[in-house]
Amino acid sequence: MWRQVTINNPQILFIKMKKTLIKIGGMHCSSCVTIINRVLSKQEGIINSSVNFSTEKASVEYDPTVISEAKIIEVINSKGYTASLDQGDGAAKEKLMKKKELLKQRNKVLISSIFAFPALILGMFFMKNPIAYQDYIMWFLATPVQFYIGWNFYTGAWAALKNKTSNMDTLVAMGTSAAYFYSVYAVLFHAGHQYFEASAVLITLVVFGKYLESFAKGKTSEAISKLMEIGAKTALVIREGKEVKISIDDVVKGDVIIVKPGEKIPVDGVIIEGNSSIDESMVTGESIPTDKKVGDDVIGSTINKQGSFKFEATKVGAETTLSRIIKLIEDAQTKKAPIQRFADIVSSYFVPAVILISVMTFFFWSLLIGEGVGFAVLASVAVLVIACPCALGLATPTAIMVGTGKGAKNGILIKGGDSLEMAHRLKYVLFDKTGTITKGKPEVTEIITLGNISKGKVLEIAGSIEKNSEHPLAEAIVEEATKKRIIWNKVSKFKALVGMGVEASIGRKQYYFGNVKLMNDKRIDYKEYIEEMTALESQGKTVMILSDSDVAYGIIAVADEIKEDSAFAINLLHKMGIKTYMITGDNKRTASAIAKKAGVQGFFAEVLPEDKANYVKQLQRNGKVAMVGDGINDAPALAQANIGIAMGSGTDVAMETGDIVLMRNSLVDVARAIKLSKITMAKIKQNMFWALAYNALGIPIAAGALYPFTGWLLSPMIAGGAMAMSSVSVITNSLLLKRKKF
């Protein structure tokens, strides 16, 4: 990404910004996210940062001339977290690390349980202390749980305090410490009942909840894990005339690779010998295999179904399509949806508010009501524990992770939570015509001449000129001339005239080939062809005129048929209440015919590429707009739109340009992307409602609101269990997205 930077003198410099992905350990709740984002935002040279609690990763955009990756990592580590550069570890390594972490958490739960549950049994069933030194036994059992298993809560709370904030660890550390140290006081000074079992069981339940949370979070990132696992491990290459099987990591650009039936294609490349049918469903989501021949591109990790072939490696390592898709999904999962900002704001004020409520609860029951210090301690501890903001912090990112993963599995790459959220708010969808609504492979249908010049001569001149052009219409004319075995003329002074056509010289003669705008600009008389042009354009055909500097020689009609699913897809959008428009550089009659076939509600014709963005702006005055294009000449309009949707079956340009990339090149996926946005946002709202409702109900109950009426006070242990399950329930609800059809 390039940014324009103004310095002291009037000169303008263009500095390339870098983006890095950093793994972060030691995050316990959304408050940790706030701390890290806050400290990163204060660093000079950091343009933007986005920390994801669910993935435990941060995406940081920075100026490498001002700050380095090492410095960014150092800054995060200084705040009590463990940061390291995300190296894009392989599936096996990633899986092993997660397995080790889960095992570590499980062992903590087991050790904690060994001490906590005997304490619970003694405290619950032997309340009158029939066992000798029972209070001291309880003290002995609770201490390792409090200071060994619970040590992470103290370090986390201390780190938060150093950053002048508070987090979940603050609540747990304060709550359990209050119960533990009051119990120590009660035992030493015989000041009443002790609550060692409350602090020990509470820590055990919180640790168990974190274990369940980590296990469930792992399920939300299954899309990436599965993509990592499908990559080929070896490749059969030709080195020094011999076939050699090597590791995928040792493949280099230019290697000639042999692929046999049933094998995975190791890396991206171009077929140089043979042909086959290839299953590209892992990239496109399309189950029907694609026929490939010499000159066709192949994608790494797709499956060769039939024939054997050789191909030349063009992209290896991180450059392959699969690696870039994985990177794109990871980046998307670190980008916050705007709705997440609400959760972040609530979380930043939530913990201090809970601490205040806990203190007020203690003084209310102990001083105002006179229920005793022990009673007040239990109530205040229950408030601290039940109010963990984890569920609120997980509400959005877990749903985003599952939603983007589900989209990727179906050939819809969504680059961020902001795009996923925006899609459900769209009012207009604006389609490019060529290659988007239409197939993008136009064919010559008619050649009409009215003078002495033959049709063959018109095709010869037009084909010779257009051989130098890269326009899709030019390709159709060159292909037709090739079929007719036309001998090319030597062309000079070729010039593309944007939005009008081309001009060139053959010998000493100047020729023009293009639309009516070009003829009018060069003052060429074409009126004798108007009737034929009108008839052809009304059929949805594009008509181009060939002329010299004085007279029109003839016209060539080219037809670009609409895709089989275009009309169906556009009708789906209408049923969703979305208005559709088409935009094209073609004349009004041709545009009208195509618009009618496709079923769009309106169209803009004779629009220059650079003016497309202005039409997007016009629609944006009345609502959110998505622009759907091929990712090349539509780039300004894609950038201007609220969401740019790029077609392209995984092309480099499409991946770079669009906010959403449709790998299958099907317009039906526009409607599916919007539907996915709607169901994901519904899940996020459900999660946030549950998280907020849980706290709104749980805190008053924990504070003793029901005690005057029922005589029932919420136990800190039950509060701890409820807190743990609230986070797990939010994650589970997000995982239900996997079952949703869209």
Point out the residues that are catalytic: 432
Distance, first Cα to last Cα, the chain: 33
Three-class SS of residue 246?
Answer: strand
Q: Which of 593, 638, 619, 739 is nearest to 679 (CA)?
A: 739
What region, left, alpha or beta, does residue 321 occupy, with left being phi > 0 and alpha being psi -120 to 50 degrees?
Answer: alpha
Q: Is 178 exposed, middle or buried (0-12, 13-18, 19+ CB in 10 A)?
A: buried
Q: Which of 514, 481, 482, 508 is nearest to 496 (CA)?
A: 514
- The residue length of the chain stands at 742
In this structure, what token pair is assigned to residue 126?
């032997």
Distance (Å, whole) CA 36 – CA 45: 16
The residue assigned the tokens 């399920």 is: 219
CB 331 within 8 A of CB 21: yes
Strand partners, 660: 414, 645
Angle at 379 between CA 368 and CA 125, to 5 degrees: 125
How many CB atoms are located within 10 Å of the residue 288 CB?
A: 9
Distance (Å, whole) CA 22 – CA 86: 5
Q: Provide the residue type at 114 as one letter.
A: I
CB 354 within 8 A of CB 654: no
CB 399 within 8 A of CB 734: yes
β-strands 18-25, 256-259 pairing? unpaired
Distance (Å, whole) CA 213 – CA 206: 10
In this structure, what token pair is assigned to residue 255?
């290697």
